């Protein structure tokens, strides 16, 4: 049964129930030799690990055109319609996220602005282990397409027909049957089969996360994500709805976290009982039960101000805020679902924002994946002779204060009276 805790925001600093256990270095130790092998031996190492860990067998790494066509033809009309709705909504939202170019005079003769250019190549990691996730392909690749990325590479250890069918719907034909740290290393370094990419995005297991962490800098990444999590803030509400939302997150992974923070002991008790009732008929209860009994909890706090403080301290991946009037007090969250009619499931599939989100407190630093992660904003500067003359004294004074005489002379040679 889920834990029910009592206290205030200070719990976060002292209770092991509210803190993630630091990930073991043993995962990174296991990943390093895989990365080194792919770096040195490229396809030879990649194929060996794919056969050993990804059940590749004798199949080629790259999915063939015939396989795409076959997968697409096998999709049900209902799935195609659902994917079409999701694609349209994701693309619409991503388009609005993109920065607009600007170039204009900020003062006489001083024209400034920026241009927006897509990354050259992006690798999207799509999990296909316990649950194959075609939605993750959509939530990454559609953003990259909207940003104008010319090359999009998909890696997935055991891509399902739905994953391949979604790639086909998007016109993506570069999909590889490889996962884990070996896939991340291949996209980071490049091999004979997989050309290197500029940035790698998408969630994965602990080995994928460790590889992304170790290779950040060698290749761009979105962020290092851990097991998924939801936090629900509610002073009241329907226990049936709240329990359903918590279980929707818990069924992802035994290490997933479902959290409720409330000022109502009555609601806490009702939700706890409702979770148990719903688990009895949930097909994925074997996974959800482990999540509920381990890292999940209900916290009963003195008031909703204390609930907000605790939520901001946790910085959850998904925040369900049943009272929209509290939004102005939220500082840290990967994404926010406002009101009781906005389930996290909508964000996972079809509302529009990407479901690739920061976990384990990384939401203190950034929000979820967006179209802006796939572009570069490049500043432009253009000065007229008179504008440079006006700035000349400030530039040369600062340059000489730093001992950079040539910097000062590069201005003065243009400002001869």
What whole-number distance in Å separates Cα of residue 157 and Cα of residue 164? 12
The length of the chain in residues reads: 417
C-alpha distances (whole Å) from 43 to each of 47, 65, 126, 204 are 6, 21, 20, 22
Q: Give the β-pairing of 110-118 and 3-6.
A: unpaired
Pick the CATH number of 42-100+119-222 from 3.40.50.1980, 2.70.98.20, 3.40.50.40, 3.40.720.10: 3.40.50.1980
Q: Which of 162, 229, 251, 317 is catalytic?
A: 317
pLDDT of 40 above 60 = yes
pLDDT confidence of 6, banded at 50, 70, 90? confident
What residues contact residue 70 under an 8 Å CB cut-off, 6+ apart? none
Mind listing the pLDDT tens digit for each residue in 54-113?
A: 989 999 999 999 999 999 999 999 999 999 999 999 999 999 999 999 999 999 999 999
Residue 235 burial (CB count, 10 A): 15
318 belongs to the catalytic site: yes
pLDDT of 181 above 70 = yes
pLDDT confidence of 20, banded at 50, 70, 90? low
pLDDT confidence of 417, banded at 50, 70, 90? low
Q: How many CA atoms lie within 13 A of 143 on its CB side?
A: 30
pLDDT of 122 above 90 = yes
Q: Starting from the edge strand earliest in sequence, which strands make up the sheet with 3-6, in order?
A: 3-6, 297-300, 257-262, 229-233, 318-321, 335-338
pLDDT confidence of 25, banded at 50, 70, 90? confident
Determine the pLDDT at residue 415.
Answer: 85
Widest distance between CA atoms in the chain = 86
Nearest to 93 by CA among 392, 376, 391, 367: 367
Determine the pLDDT at residue 16.
Answer: 44
Question: What tokens does 22 get?
Answer: 């630091």
Determine the pLDDT at residue 41.
Answer: 97
Nearest to 72 by CA among 170, 148, 3: 170
252 belongs to the catalytic site: no
pLDDT confidence of 135, banded at 50, 70, 90? very high
Determine the pLDDT at residue 120.
Answer: 97
Q: Give the β-pairing of 297-300 and 220-221.
A: unpaired
pTM of the model: 0.93
Q: Which of 168, 318, 322, 355 is catalytic?
A: 318
What secondary structure does DSSP assign to 331-387, as a single string?
A: ---SEEEESTT--HHHHHHTSSS-S----TTGGGT--S--GGGGEEEEEEEEE-HHH
pLDDT of 255 above 60 = yes
C-alpha distances (whole Å) from 175 to each of 63, 79, 167, 178, 414 are 6, 20, 8, 9, 54
Determine the pLDDT at residue 256.
Answer: 94
- In percent, the amount of the chain with pLDDT more than 70 equals 95
What whole-number distance in Å separates Cα of residue 336 and Cα of residue 362? 15
Determine the pLDDT at residue 128.
Answer: 87
Determine the pLDDT at residue 73.
Answer: 93
pLDDT of 14 above 50 = no
Q: Starting from the edge strand earliest in sequence, which strands make up the sheet with 199-201, in order?
A: 175-176, 151-155, 121-125, 199-201, 220-221
Cβ proximity of 356 and 201 under 8 Å: yes
Question: What tokens does 308 get?
Answer: 């907000």
pLDDT of 13 above 80 = no
pLDDT confidence of 117, banded at 50, 70, 90? very high
pLDDT confidence of 8, banded at 50, 70, 90? low
Determine the pLDDT at residue 226.
Answer: 87
Do the two domains 3-21+227-367 and 42-100+119-222 of this chain adopt the same fold? yes
Distance of CA 157 to the CA centre of its chain: 19
pLDDT confidence of 131, banded at 50, 70, 90? confident
Q: HEC string of 81-109?
A: HHHHHHHHHHHHHHHHHCCCCEEEEEECC
Question: What tokens does 82 get?
Answer: 């659902």
Mean pLDDT of the chain: 93
pLDDT of 9 above 60 = no
- In percent, the amount of the chain with pLDDT more than 90 equals 92
User: In the predicted model, what is the mean pLDDT of residues 17-32?
Assistant: 71
Q: For the chain, what are the domain ranges?
A: 3-21+227-367, 42-100+119-222, 384-417
Fold of 3-21+227-367: Rossmann fold (3.40.50)
Determine the pLDDT at residue 225.
Answer: 87
pLDDT confidence of 119, banded at 50, 70, 90? very high
pLDDT of 385 above 60 = yes
User: In the predicted model, what is the mean pLDDT of residues 341-353?
Assistant: 95
């Amino acid at each position: 049964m889920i834990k029910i805790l009592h206290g205030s925001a200070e719990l976060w600093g002292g209770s092991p129930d509210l803190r993630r256990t630091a990930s073991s270095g043993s995962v990174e130790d296991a990943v390093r030799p895989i990365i080194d092998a792919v770096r040195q031996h490229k396809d030879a190492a990649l194929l060996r690990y794919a056969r050993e860990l990804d059940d590749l067998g004798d199949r080629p790494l790259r999915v063939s055109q015939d396989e795409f066509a076959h997968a697409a033809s096998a999709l049900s009309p209902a799935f195609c319609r659902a994917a079409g709705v999701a694609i349209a909504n994701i693309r619409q939202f991503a388009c609005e996220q993109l920065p607009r170019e600007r170039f204009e005079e900020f003062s006489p003769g001083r024209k400034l602005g920026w241009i927006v250019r897509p990354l050259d190549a992006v690798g999207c990691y799509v999990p296909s282990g316990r649950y194959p996730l075609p939605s993750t392909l959509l939530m990454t690749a559609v953003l990259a397409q909207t940003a104008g990325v010319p090359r999009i590479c998909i890696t997935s250890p055991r891509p399902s027909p739905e994953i391949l069918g979604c790639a086909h719907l998007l016109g993506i034909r570069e999909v590889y049957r490889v996962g884990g740290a070996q896939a991340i290393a291949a996209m980071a370094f490049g091999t004979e089969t997989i050309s290197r990419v500029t940035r790698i995005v998408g969630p994965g297991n602990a080995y994928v996360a460790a590889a992304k962490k170790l290779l950040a800098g060698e290749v761009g990444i979105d962020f290092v994500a851990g097991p998924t999590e939801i936090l629900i803030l509610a002073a009241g509400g329907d226990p049936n709805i709240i329990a359903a939302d918590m279980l929707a997150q818990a069924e992802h992974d035994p290490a997933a976290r479902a959290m409720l923070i409330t000022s109502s002991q009555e609601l806490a008790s009702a939700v706890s009982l409702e979770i148990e009732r719903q688990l009895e008929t949930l097909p994925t209860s074997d996974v959800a039960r482990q999540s509920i009994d381990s890292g999940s909890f209900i916290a009963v706090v003195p008031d909703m101000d204390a609930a907000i403080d605790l939520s901001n301290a946790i910085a959850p991946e998904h925040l369900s805020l049943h009272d929209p009037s509290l939004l102005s007090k939220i500082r840290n969250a990967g994404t926010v679902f406002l009101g009781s009619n906005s389930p996290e499931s909508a964000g996972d599939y079809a509302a529009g924002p990407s479901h690739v989100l920061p976990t384990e407190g990384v939401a203190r630093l950034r929000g979820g994946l967006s179209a802006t992660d796939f572009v570069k904003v490049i500043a432009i500067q253009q000065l007229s002779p008179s504008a440079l003359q006006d700035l000349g004294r400030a530039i040369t004074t600062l340059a000489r204060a730093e001992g950079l005489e040539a910097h000062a002379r590069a201005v003065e040679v243009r400002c001869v009276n």
